[in-house]
Structure 1
Amino acid sequence: MLKNDSTWLARLFPFLGWWPMTRETLRADLIAGVTVALVLVPQSMAYAQLAGLPVVYGLYAAFLPVMVASLWGSLRQLHTGPTAMLSLLSAAALLPFASVGSEQFIELSVMLALMVGVLRLLLGLFRLGLVVNLLSHPVVVGFTNAAALIIGLSQLNKLINVPMPRSDSFLSDLWAVVTQLEQTHWPTVGFAFAAFLIIYGLQRFFPRAPAILVAIMVTTVASAWFGFERTASVSLASIEDASFRARLGDYTRLNEAVRNQERRLAQLQAERSRATQAARVARADLDAELDKQKVRLTALREQAFEARRHLHAVRLSRVETPTGPVFRSAGTVVEGEPAGAAYWRFAAIKGDTVSLSSGGEVVGTIPKGLPSFTLPHIAWQILLPLLPAALIMALLGFMEATSISKAISARTGQRVDTNQELIGQGLANIVGSFFQSYVVSGSFSRSALAARAGAQTGLFAIISALCVMLVILFLTPLLYHLPQAVLAVIIMFAVFGLVRIEPLLQAWRVNRVDAVIGLVTFVATLALAPALAQGILLGVGLTVAAYVVRNMRPRAEILGRRADGTLAGMDSHHLPPVSDQYVALRFDGSLDFVNVAYFEEAVLEALRRFPQAKAVLVVGSGINDMDASGEAQLRAVARQLKARGVDLYFSSLKKQVRAAFERGGLDEVIPKEHLFANKEAALAALAARYGHLASVTPPATIPSSPRPAGSS
């Protein structure tokens, strides 16, 4: 009883397994926690921007969710928090429903975290971790390679400080950035290059040094010292360039239109929710109104998306200043040629005040204070459209965490409970969503760093989260001048290492169909970006289809006899048949609804090639199961053969298949004396009844049938 209670407590509170702790364990976890925190803080800020959120939301995601996942997870060295892959997936999933960085976008990001958390928790509670097997290795590799390229290239505009549109085509957005190369802001490129040299150099020559933290400290100080950010605020009326003033007016109108449309979308969603509830009482009276609202909702979304496309053209507006001032405000002249660029770029407009920028982009003001408890806002009408993306994110995040866990446990010897890990990851996202966190998952880089630093228990992750808490409370003002280009470099370092070609080449050597599916997944993910979920769903669909096709035509071959008396494929090895009075047929597939028709085809083809045969022996060592469809078809085949005067025999059937034969009452058409324990006993009985080996060698004169894929 005590043992059962102990097991129950261990499953309910996995962190109890950390005890007893020693001074050495605490010291190791403290060092590992601080070490990981030095990477966690800058990574979480960078990944938040990748998710289309202000950097502070990355810090929120690196606080409580880290603790919860550590307390209720399985692997003690696994570190949970923001990751590049899920950050990009989150932004891509929400882009059709709200403007990036808007209040509605932030609310939907938190709601998506709740959805992913609930899905993972349910998978873990019902012990359905095996569902991740739907994601085959080539599909995951193809998707990961494409996503890594998309993540890395999405940061290109930040490296050269030009705007990047957000549309329904990532490739067209990327091309829009490429066309602006002549407008490159070279000081921004300089900061990015300096960050790259610092990180690469320290990782190469001083691997124990916190390379990312050093890069952030150096570039932030340099940014503040040299005045990397240069901004100005002027009134709209003070702008002397009439065409530019007109473009700003267009921007204001379009921006306000987008905001009004998004507010109207929220109102329609609330109306539809109330109408749906009322429909339970008077559904017939509200169906027509609901249909009308659906049409209006779709139209508004399309208008809002089209308006956002036009906004990008306005953001590209700039005014050359080779001959003098272009703006005058309260007697102050705002002149050109700042920080090496001969123009001011429009940044934002609020009322009649225009914000301009001529320097580099920095992180800016980060709100201080811990995230407060807030109920996630649930947009009920978006739940269903977001569900496929949430499921993909739940599975991919779990697969990422599982692969990390297995790699680390192979070195530590710790047992990994994948279902418990699902529970921990699910609770982390659910709790995080109540404290303004977006989607989190296990991080490969930070987990590997923790293992190298000697982490012994999940306490190290809690220590890293406490370090983030200190940053949120006291250190955010110091990060104001951090260049955005440095965060872009951090993201690129994290994701470009995920690009792997060798697994696809290996898949090509092993099974070319799988390799092609991986390649199609890669191309589709790139082409369909930012709708990344569609790319991997296509890969999953192709994988399932290929699996079904392979199982529809399993390996089936007539057996012949070698000179030493052993059996092998007659056509594959150019052997004489066992006899011209009976046929030995090997069938390596379950008798189920997928392939039982092919079983009948294989038996009839064997009889076509040996028309004098009085019996067919099916060597069934490769038959693992039989369902109702298989039983019905097998019964029909046995009756069909009996009508032709041919007996059907089986040998080497597995226990579960023999049991299915008995439950189905197949002894009515296939007597028990036609079932043999092994093929040797079956061949001896058939030889005694029908005759011995054939006197001729017919394979060269017998028409050959197409061999199924995989036969040898």
Structure 2
Amino acid sequence: MKQFFFPFLTWLGLVNFNTLKADFFAGLTGAVVVLPQGVAFAAIAGLPPEYGLYTAMVTPIIAGLFGSSLHLVSGPTTAISLVVFSTISRYAEPGSEQFIQMVLTLTFLAGVYQLVFGLMRLGMLVNFVSHTVVIGFTAGAAILIATSQIKYVTGIPIPKGESFLHTWVDVGVGIGATNLYILAIAGFTMLSALLLKRYLPKMPHLLFGMIMGSLASIAIGGAQHGITYVGEISGQLPPLSMPDFSLASLKQLASGAFAVALLGLIEAVSIARSIATKSQQRLDGNQEFIGQGLSNIAGSFFSSYAGSGSFTRSGINYSAGAKTPLSAVFAAILLGIIVLLVAPLAAYLPVAAMGGIIMLVAYNLIDFQHIKHILHSSKTETSILATTFFATLFMELEFAIYMGVLLSLIIFLMRTSMPNIVDLAPNPAEPRHKFAEVSEYGLKECPQLKLLRVDMSIYFGSLDKVQRELACIAERQHIKHVLIVGESINFIDLAGAEMLIQEAKRLKSLGGGLYLQGAKNKVYDFMDRIDFVEEFGEGNVFSSKEAALQSLTKRLDHRICATCDKRIFRECAKLPGAKTA
């Protein structure tokens, strides 16, 4: 129970001088990396730059201490920043006091959703959301982010609040108004960052790009050529804040907060699992939900906006040799110290350089390799990818998330609603005449007793497929006795049990019967709870194949057996008409 409420107790015993040293240097690396990212992500969210830094100071500490991953680093992320902007910008002017107030409320609500999901032990629900949804949404978000920065890296005047298509129409119309000085600063910033990443990949290339862009702007006298600057960032630690708890605000932001919460959980758990496969760590999805929820709830009272796990910072954290979540705590503390020292220098950072950095961040969001793999390997996953991607570009962002998740769930249900039903027969090549697939081995079948194996589950979604198969056997193959070999049935729900009872009665009325053999223990346990066997027929459920065949061969029409040339069961040797040695 202590580990549920205080999960850091599970790894606190690992801490020693060596782990502290490793975590400190990993945290220092993370603090340097997140400095430019925090400023860029806040700009994407429509917030003053310092709010991205506040988020990078508060959420990693809470999420690290109350989550389950040893290496996940939380904080501001690109996708969530875009959803925050999309949700709040329709109600308030970005950057205004009202906008900030609503963002804090949105963050609090998202944290509450996440915490409730964790306390209700719903961590496994993330398993039902295709990772393709995240890839499609992220790719679409990357293009939206790049589009939003066009006016900052070109100087083309584009009205606020323009849609994706209208923005590019404005770019085409106003391309002649491009400010070449602004474009040059943005291009030089991106080139500097890319060159450093190419030749010194361990260095903070985004920070380097910002510095080079600032120096270039100073060198050419940027203000004289229409270049604007970010302005001085408030050099202080996260101040206290208060979300708006009015009923009107909570109702207004409830839907958007749910989308933020869902996206944040999918991001965090996906990233944590990805790193856990390398570190050989077992994760607790429910605890991760709790950690993310508490971090956002706490963050809303310390001037932070919604955060989640960061793939870049988490990957760097692991690669830098972090041993425990203290690395995330060190990163947050060291970032606070850095901000106090360098915040005034933001007055020399050109908006064009910031736009260039955000462009690079957006490009790196697109997982080209995974997208290519999806397009070549699965039409179903491709449909999920395309739906989420285009919905992100042309619809409200939270609706795009819901659509992608809904589509992935529908496809999951479609797959489980079409269980594979296989014809079986004894294989004479096996010593004990083990059941094998008829189509694979070309086996003979009994003309009176059908053997079936149902792969997956018999539940409300798969009833139609199972019933149609049983009807086909009776009506077209004229077989009235059907034995379902249940070794591959994962579960049977109440609707499935009622269907089996109904089919058993129907076949009995035709002079045959429906039988079940070899179900899993949890299936039998469920049957006991609902008194299934009493209605299905106590003599129709068997524990072994031998017992089933010994009983069922006696129930067949022996007049047909007398002239049958199949005789695939060893029990057939005892029936009338059998050839004697």
Counterparts of 1:552 and 1:16, CA distance in 2: 41
Specify the alignment match of 2:539 in structure 1: 673
| Of 288, 291, 295, the match for 1:424 | 291
Cα displacement (A) at 1:610 = 2.4
Counterparts of 2:330 and 2:541, CA distance in 1: 66
Question: Is 1:534 matched up with 2:399?
Answer: yes
Cα displacement (A) at 1:450 = 2.1
Where in structure 2 are there 5+ consecutive unaligned residues? 568-581
Cα displacement (A) at 1:623 = 2.4
Counterparts of 1:173 and 1:159, CA distance in 2: 14
Q: Please list the CA deviations of residues 395-427 of structure 1 after superposition, one character each: whole Å capped at 9, or x if unmatched.
A: 322222223323333333444333333222222
Deviating more after overlay: 42-51 vs 514-523: 514-523
SS in 1 for 2:483: strand
**Contact 2:417–2:462 (CA<8 Å) still a contact in 1?**
yes
Question: Is 1:587 matched up with 2:454?
Answer: yes
Cα displacement (A) at 1:184 = 1.2
Specify the alignment match of 1:654 in structure 2: 520
**Contact 2:209–2:357 (CA<8 Å) still a contact in 1?**
no
**Contact 2:504–2:515 (CA<8 Å) still a contact in 1?**
no
Specify the alignment match of 1:546 in structure 2: 411
2:407 partner amino acid: L
Cα displacement (A) at 1:660 = 3.5
Counterparts of 2:533 and 2:236, CA distance in 1: 76
Counterparts of 2:564 and 2:434, CA distance in 1: 15
Counterparts of 1:20 and 1:584, CA distance in 2: 56
Specify the alignment match of 2:270 in structure 1: 403
Specify the alignment match of 1:68 in structure 2: 62
Counterparts of 1:661 and 1:33, CA distance in 2: 54
SS in 1 for 2:223: coil
CA separation of 1:104/1:20 partners in 2, compared to 1, >3 Å: closer, same or farther? same
Cα displacement (A) at 1:92 = 0.9
CA separation of 1:680/1:185 partners in 2, compared to 1, >3 Å: closer, same or farther? farther
Question: Is 1:104 matched up with 2:104?
Answer: no
CA separation of 1:665/1:13 partners in 2, compared to 1, >3 Å: closer, same or farther? closer
Question: Is 1:160 matched up with 2:154?
Answer: yes
Counterparts of 1:20 and 1:617, CA distance in 2: 55
Q: How does 1:70-149 map to 2 (within 5 A)?
A: 70-149=64-143
**Contact 2:130–2:405 (CA<8 Å) still a contact in 1?**
yes
CA separation of 1:9/1:501 partners in 2, compared to 1, >3 Å: closer, same or farther? closer
Cα displacement (A) at 1:673 = 2.7
Counterparts of 1:667 and 1:370, CA distance in 2: 67
| Of 203, 208, 217, the match for 2:211 | 217
1:464 partner amino acid: A
SS in 2 for 1:42: helix
Specify the alignment match of 1:269 in structure 2: none
Q: How does 1:101-500 map to 2 (within 5 A)?
A: 101-167=95-161, 169-230=163-224, 339=225, 359-500=226-367
Deviating more after overlay: 41-50 vs 371-380: 371-380
Cα displacement (A) at 1:200 = 1.1
Counterparts of 1:666 and 1:13, CA distance in 2: 43
CA separation of 1:665/1:492 partners in 2, compared to 1, >3 Å: closer, same or farther? same
Q: Greater CA radius of gyration, 1 or 2?
A: 1
Counterparts of 1:503 and 1:632, CA distance in 2: 43
Q: Please list the CA deviations of residues 636-674 of structure 1 after superposition, one character each: whole Å capped at 9, or x if unmatched.
A: 222222222112222222223233434443444543332
CA separation of 1:546/1:212 partners in 2, compared to 1, >3 Å: closer, same or farther? closer
CA separation of 1:653/1:423 partners in 2, compared to 1, >3 Å: closer, same or farther? closer
**Contact 1:229–1:361 (CA<8 Å) still a contact in 2?**
yes
Cα displacement (A) at 1:21 = 4.6
Specify the alignment match of 1:634 in structure 2: 500
**Contact 2:292–2:308 (CA<8 Å) still a contact in 1?**
yes
Specify the alignment match of 1:334 in structure 2: none
**Contact 2:210–2:357 (CA<8 Å) still a contact in 1?**
no
Cα displacement (A) at 1:45 = 0.6
**Contact 2:123–2:285 (CA<8 Å) still a contact in 1?**
yes
**Contact 1:154–1:174 (CA<8 Å) still a contact in 2?**
no
Counterparts of 1:662 and 1:472, CA distance in 2: 64
Specify the alignment match of 2:41 in structure 1: 47
Question: Is 1:518 matched up with 2:512?
Answer: no
CA separation of 1:453/1:142 partners in 2, compared to 1, >3 Å: closer, same or farther? same
Q: Please list the CA deviations of residues 547-576 of structure 1 after superposition, one character each: whole Å capped at 9, or x if unmatched.
A: 333333322244456664665555x45946
CA separation of 1:361/1:122 partners in 2, compared to 1, >3 Å: closer, same or farther? same
Q: Please list the CA deviations of residues 473-530 of structure 1 after superposition, one character each: whole Å capped at 9, or x if unmatched.
A: 34322111201222222223223223224434544665432332222222222221xx
Counterparts of 2:512 and 2:310, CA distance in 1: 63
Counterparts of 2:322 and 2:416, CA distance in 1: 46
Counterparts of 1:30 and 1:504, CA distance in 2: 36
Specify the alignment match of 1:253 in structure 2: none
| Of 466, 477, 485, the match for 1:619 | 485
CA separation of 1:545/1:13 partners in 2, compared to 1, >3 Å: closer, same or farther? closer
Counterparts of 2:281 and 2:496, CA distance in 1: 43
**Contact 1:639–1:669 (CA<8 Å) still a contact in 2?**
no
Deviating more after overlay: 670-679 vs 439-448: 670-679
Deviating more after overlay: 210-219 vs 162-171: 162-171
| Of 50, 60, 81, the match for 1:56 | 50
Counterparts of 1:548 and 1:513, CA distance in 2: 13
**Contact 1:576–1:696 (CA<8 Å) still a contact in 2?**
no
SS in 1 for 2:170: helix
Q: Please list the CA deviations of residues 608-645 of structure 1 after superposition, one character each: whole Å capped at 9, or x if unmatched.
A: 1222x342222222323223222332222222222221
**Contact 1:15–1:458 (CA<8 Å) still a contact in 2?**
no
**Contact 1:161–1:188 (CA<8 Å) still a contact in 2?**
yes
Question: Is 1:35 matched up with 2:55?
Answer: no
SS in 2 for 1:62: helix
Cα displacement (A) at 1:14 = 1.0
Cα displacement (A) at 1:437 = 1.3
Identity of matched residues, %: 34
Specify the alignment match of 1:252 in structure 2: none
Counterparts of 1:576 and 1:214, CA distance in 2: 70
2:541 partner amino acid: L
CA separation of 1:681/1:35 partners in 2, compared to 1, >3 Å: closer, same or farther? same
Q: CA RMSD in A?
A: 2.8
CA separation of 1:495/1:573 partners in 2, compared to 1, >3 Å: closer, same or farther? same
1:208 partner amino acid: K
Counterparts of 2:428 and 2:300, CA distance in 1: 71
2:177 partner amino acid: Q
2:542 partner amino acid: F
Deviating more after overlay: 215-224 vs 474-483: 215-224
Deviating more after overlay: 186-195 vs 132-141: 132-141
CA separation of 1:60/1:608 partners in 2, compared to 1, >3 Å: closer, same or farther? same
CA separation of 1:15/1:432 partners in 2, compared to 1, >3 Å: closer, same or farther? farther
**Contact 1:128–1:419 (CA<8 Å) still a contact in 2?**
yes
1:51 partner amino acid: A
